[in-house]
Structure 1
Amino acid sequence: MFNILISHIQQKIDLDENEAELLKSFFIQRLFRKKQYVLQAGDVCEYLAFVSKGILKSYILDEKGIERINMFAFEGWWISDFNSYINQERAVLNIDVIENAELLLINRENYEELTKQIPKMDRYFRILYQNSLVTKDHRLIISNNFTAEEKYLYLVKNNPEMIQKLPHNLIASYLGLSPETISRIRKKLLFK
């Protein structure tokens, strides 16, 4: 489980063998089954979760009980309700498992201790947060300014893993479209 995390970290910063070994002591390893909740809205988010295996989604339920997907997390991705985690407020997001998952979880206390004992991990997390902010800004621009077809084509080009691994109803929710709209777009593109 830790090989993927350490590899992910090594892409951003250099860890020596001792640091990599120490890093492991700050995480809890957990297995989750398909459809199992990692976090439910209303609870306080206790962990940042690194996905070693599987696929997760974070979402809200709208007033009609329809899922509005915020993000997916594949192998090598982090997921959490960051506002809840950082501010210890009730979560607004649900996080559950789409495909059986192996997660590495770190609580706030261990996170703080990790960054004290391995200071360069502060840089690693800063890089992650910067990238996350850029991604969310870009997603907001796409959501507000692209047509339904442009949104879908952008996803196909930039996140083919999503298109290949996820059913179109989840992709539709992520893009803010109906499954019928996704079907029409796919059919139209097939005949182009």
Structure 2
Amino acid sequence: MSLVETIKKISFFNNLNEEQLSIIASFSSISKYSSKSILFYESEVNQNLLFLVDGLLKIYKFDKFGNEIFLYHVYKNSMISELSSLNSNDIYCFSNAEFIDESTILSVNFEKLYEYFLSKNILTKELMENLLNKTQQLQCIINRELVFDATAKVAFMLNQDLEMFNKLKRQEVSFMLHIQPETLSRVLKKLSREEIINIENGDIVIINQNALSSIFKGIAV
């Protein structure tokens, strides 16, 4: 697959024509990563805007005791980088990033992207949408860590990330949500008794979406 064809797989660039895609390709590159490898560490600085073409990426931090704190997953066809300013070519890493699956990364030089596109009001809407999505994602993390109880944490993940919930071992899920495995088991049994979910061959199936959403939204069913 050519570089231009790879760029076309990222919806961020959907509105560009062939000439514009070729310009993007002239200051971009593709990298392959194996599972468990590290993309970047917290406090690193680079000059490239990063996109996940294929694969799965885990974003996390460490607390003062060295314990890993899971933040969120990045899925294919997503922008990874978190911009803090458009007035600097330096892109700071505010967390750590580790690959869960074999993955492909598209790296786009931010200075060139700004020169040829953003400064001409091209791709600015797409960039703003991505940044707003990341802000919303941060709000969800704050709710999960500071507001939600165990039931709300589990309901939120089932609602937002059911495929990942079923893919992971229960112990891994409880670790991500910062609850005990026994607590996770009790919550799942409770949701099953209330006919909000079914547990079929170990996988969760949502049967009452409104009731599930109301648990973390605080809305009466």
Any idea what the Cα deviations from partners look like across 1:137-168, whole Å, max 9, x if unmatched?
24423443322111211221232233234444
Corresponding residue of 2:95: 93
- Alignment partner of 2:9 out of 1, 4, 16: 4
- Alignment partner of 2:178 out of 160, 172, 176: 176
Query: Secondary structure, in 3 states, of the residue corresponding to 2:24?
Result: helix
> Which of 1 and 2 has greater Rg?
2
Corresponding residue of 2:110: 108
Corresponding residue of 1:30: 31
Alpha-carbon contact 2:89-2:110 (below 8 Å) kept: no
* Gapped regions of structure 1 (runs ≥ 5): none
Instruction: Report 1 or 2 for greater relative contact order, CA contacts < 8 Å, sequence distance ≥ 6.
Output: 1
Corresponding residue of 1:52: 53
Change (3 A) 1:156 1:166: same
Amino acid at match of 1:40: Y
Query: Secondary structure, in 3 states, of the residue corresponding to 1:185?
Result: helix
Q: Decide which structure has greater helix share.
A: 1
Q: How many residues align?
A: 188
Query: Secondary structure, in 3 states, of the residue corresponding to 1:63?
Result: coil
Any idea what the Cα deviations from partners look like across 1:11-46, whole Å, max 9, x if unmatched?
xxx322322333233321000111111102343244
> What TM-score do the two structures reach when normalised by structure 2?
0.70
Mean Cα displacement is larger for which, 111-120 or 32-41? 111-120
Mean Cα displacement is larger for which, 167-176 or 101-110? 167-176
Mean Cα displacement is larger for which, 147-156 or 50-59? 147-156
Matched, 1:131 2:133: yes
User: How high is the sequence identity, in percent, across the aligned residues?
Assistant: 23
Instruction: Give the distance between the partners of 1:152 and 1:119, measured in 2 at CA.
Output: 41
Change (3 A) 1:66 1:154: same
> What TM-score do the two structures reach when normalised by structure 1?
0.79
Query: Secondary structure, in 3 states, of the residue corresponding to 1:41?
Result: coil
- Alignment partner of 1:149 out of 142, 148, 151: 151
